[in-house]
Amino acid sequence: MDAEPTAPPGAGQPVEKTRRVRGVVYINGLRCKGCGFCIAFCPPKVLEFSSEFNPLGYHPPHLVRPEGCTGCDLCGLYCPDFAIYAVMIKNEPEDTRPPAPPAEGAPP
Amino acid sequence: MTARTDAVAANPVEAFLRSDRMPHIWCPGCGIGTTVNCFARALLQAKLNLDRVVVVSGIGCTGRVAGYLELDSFHTTHGRAIPFATGLKLANPELTVVVYSGDGDLVGIGGNHFIHAARRNVDLKVICVNNFTYGMTGGQVAPTTPLGALSTTTPYGCFEQPFNLPQLAESSGAVYVARWTSYHVRQLTHAFGEALRKKGFSFIEILSPCPTLYERRNRLGDGLEMMKYFKEQSLVRHGAPTKELGLTFQGPIAVGKFVDRERPTFLETLNQQLARTLEAQYAGCAGEHVRD
């Protein structure tokens, strides 16, 4: 099973009421052990288990409602496997969001 | 697309981890990783010179912390984290010495060292991850296992009175005593920061799920179920008398900061006493010059 980024369900679908994205979530699906802490304790409940398996055999989380993320980084604080974190975006239009960091350090 | 699965290097705690050892050995749903995460963030916020921060662990699941943190660290024999850390601190008082270990290691096997380090007020930051059992060795009854809980060595329920760790620490002489759970991540990060700044024997107890041994044997669900129990049953009681903080099986949990006081540390009293007795002959212990 490859760990390529998978588009969340509903990505590309028209959203009726668009809210400005306030946070970005970065997920390292290779490290995740599927404990579900981030999903259960996310205040705006924007994460859900992905249906795909990672190489360890767990279902990593994925972002289902990008517009709901506030970038509070509580998922990053809860993660026992250091596999997820969030970054807050302050007063920036959506198209100037910081790009994802390079994949160096990711196991093959 | 907002979520990326390939981002690893920019995780704020990554700089504190030995990434080549990841993924770690802790089970899915174990709370030790969460406490390490909070500890790394506290280090990040404390802006300490990381060359002067040392982590010492004993044996056990929590004992692996020393091997996963990208700091000077030492993995000692069972129960001997505090003696090693005491020697480290006395030989080089400039170091910030953190003892990061489990309940079985710190107050079971190493309980004698724990009370005496607290009595002497050695300047250590002792972090005790309490998962109510001896995890790595197979789920035996620990000095913190609540009455009635099942374990490998108490198949009919634990009949030993468990330790009340905040009371033990306070009555032994600790200057900072707090208890949080792995659910209280923000408070825990704050408490780590306070302990890192505090001079003297600081003690933080962290209740943490052990889904594989403690919870499965007691049919308490997975790690997430335990986290939800921590969330629902915890009550913040800052400054509460520590004798009221005993834990019962799946009962209410008092969390908070209970003790924050000042006492002269071991090195201070040592230098003071010897300087008083030996006067000019005494040059000070461990690089601290009394006769300046």
The Cα–Cα gap between B5 and A8 comes to 11
CA nearest to A4 within chain B: B5
Distance linking the first and last C-alpha atoms of chain B: 63
B6 has a pLDDT exceeding 90: no
CA nearest to A81 within chain B: B33
Residue A10 lies in a domain: no
**Residue A80 to residue B34, Cβ atoms within 8 A:** yes
Tens-digit pLDDT profile for residues B214-261: 999 999 889 899 999 999 999 999 999 999 888 999 899 999 999 999
**Residue A79 to residue B33, Cβ atoms within 8 A:** yes
> Would you call B260 exposed, middle or buried from its count of C-beta atoms within 10 A (0-12, 13-18, 19+)?
middle
pLDDT class for B2, splitting at 50, 70, 90? Answer: very low
Q: What is the pLDDT of residue A4?
A: 55
Residue A43 lies in a domain: yes
Residues 39-98 of A with CB under 8 A from B: 40-41, 56, 58, 60, 62-63, 66, 69, 74, 76-82, 85, 97
**For chain B, where are the alpha helices, taking DSSP H only?**
32-46, 65-68, 81-91, 103, 111-120, 165-172, 185-197, 216-217, 223-233, 266-278
Number of domains, chain A:
1
pLDDT class for B271, splitting at 50, 70, 90? Answer: confident
Residue B11 lies in a domain: no
Look over chain B and give the mean of its residue pLDDT values, rounded to a whole number. 89
Residue A4 lies in a domain: no
Confirm if B178 and B103 have CB atoms less than 8 A apart: no
> Would you call B157 exposed, middle or buried from its count of C-beta atoms within 10 A (0-12, 13-18, 19+)?
middle
For chain A (length 108 residues), average pLDDT per consecutive 10? 53 55 84 91 91 89 87 90 86 55 49
Summarize the confidence of residues B78-88 as an average pLDDT.
Answer: 93
Summarize the confidence of residues B154-177 as an average pLDDT.
Answer: 93
Residue B9 lies in a domain: no
Domain span at residue B289 reads 263-292
Same domain, B158 and B101: yes
Same domain, B29 and B73: yes
Residue B10 lies in a domain: no
How far does B32 lie from chain A, in Å, by closest CA?
7
Tens-digit pLDDT profile for residues B130-151: 999 998 888 899 999 999 999 9
**Residue B227 to residue A33, Cβ atoms within 8 A:** no
Same domain, B243 and B270: no
Q: Which domain CATH number covers A31?
A: 3.30.70.20
Q: What is the pLDDT of residue B55?
A: 94
Q: Which domain CATH number covers B254?
A: 3.40.50.970
Summarize the confidence of residues B70-96 as an average pLDDT.
Answer: 91
Residue A41 lies in a domain: yes
Size of chain A, expressed as the number of residues it contains: 108
Residue A54 lies in a domain: yes
Query: Encoding tokens for residue B265?
Result: 């540390």
Same domain, B87 and B133: yes
- Greatest CA separation found in chain A? 39
CA nearest to A2 within chain B: B5
Residue B6 lies in a domain: no
Please tell me if residue B50 touches chain A, with a CB cutoff of 8 Å.
no
Please tell me if residue B20 touches chain A, with a CB cutoff of 8 Å.
no
Same domain, B139 and B22: yes
Q: What is the pLDDT of residue B3?
A: 45
CA angle A31, A67, A56 (to 5 degrees): 15
Q: What is the pLDDT of residue B290?
A: 41
Domain span at residue A65 reads 23-92
Q: What is the pLDDT of residue A95?
A: 52
Same domain, B287 and B201: no
User: 3-class secondary structure for B139-201?
Assistant: CECCCCCCCCCCECCECCCCCCCCCCHHHHHHHHCCCEEEEEECCCHHHHHHHHHHHHHCCCC
**Total Cβ atoms within 10 A of residue B16:** 21
Confirm if B127 and B85 have CB atoms less than 8 A apart: no
How far does A35 lie from chain B, in Å, by closest CA?
5
A24: chain B residues, CB-CB within 8 Å:
2-4
Number of domains, chain B:
2
